Amino acid sequence: MNKTLKIKSNREVTIDIFKIKNLNIVVEECIKAVCILNFDTDFDLNTKVVIKASAELKIYNVFTGSSGKESLDLELIGEGAVGEVYSIGSLKNNDNLELKHNALHIADKTTSNIYSSFVVNDNSELNLNEEVFVQASANSCIGNQKAEILLLSENAKVQAVPNLKIENENVKCSHGVSITKFNEEKKFYLNTKGLNEKQVEEILISGHLSKAIKSLGEEMQKEILKSI
């Protein structure tokens, strides 16, 4: 199934990814919008996002224990366009997630931010490929990519590849990946407060994942963390 969403007013949209194969999102000039994509079933999704001049879009990919593939292309075609992609999920059991996110800067003074926060446990597997591409004709652009992954099992697998493809020197871009385990000092501190091991781990996992959704309202943050 194909779905096209044209955003012509400032709004927040939630889409449940169910049987959608191709998703096209267009944000008209000067519009500010938020789009939350819920992935709660197995999926194979191709998403294309086009953001016009002076428009802003924040996309939140919420993965709730599902397996599948997502390819997302973010095209910043108008001067001053801003596109942000935040991905959050907790993989467990035999979950297998493959994500490819690309930000393409076509116009001047465009800004992109790709941020992913995942917990990978049990026998699950995460493959993450994210790229910021600035064309030669696009001046004064800002592009950032960062992935923070909490690895909780020796049997889990993570492959994360950050890429920058810069054809214009007049830009500010960064990229990076961190793969860590529980911070033992934080665990010890929380244990001294009388919390048991399960409570401590839940707090640390919640703190790790919440970084990706901190710009959402408090109630929406709680709802997303509860679903994961």
DSSP 8-state assignment for residue 198: H
Residue linked to tokens 């007013």: 9
Q: pLDDT by residue for the chain (228 residues), tens digit each?
A: 999 999 999 999 999 998 899 999 999 999 999 999 999 888 999 999 999 999 999 999 999 877 999 999 999 999 999 999 999 999 999 999 999 999 999 999 999 999 999 999 999 999 999 999 999 999 999 999 999 999 999 999 999 999 999 999 999 999 999 999 887 888 788 888 888 888 888 888 888 999 899 889 888 888 888 888
pLDDT for 57-78, tens place per residue? 999 999 987 799 999 999 999 9
Residue 57 near residue 85, CB atoms below 8 Å: no
Question: From start to end of 106-153, where are the E strands?
Answer: 111-120, 125-134, 141-151
pTM: predicted TM-score of the whole model, two decimal places: 0.93
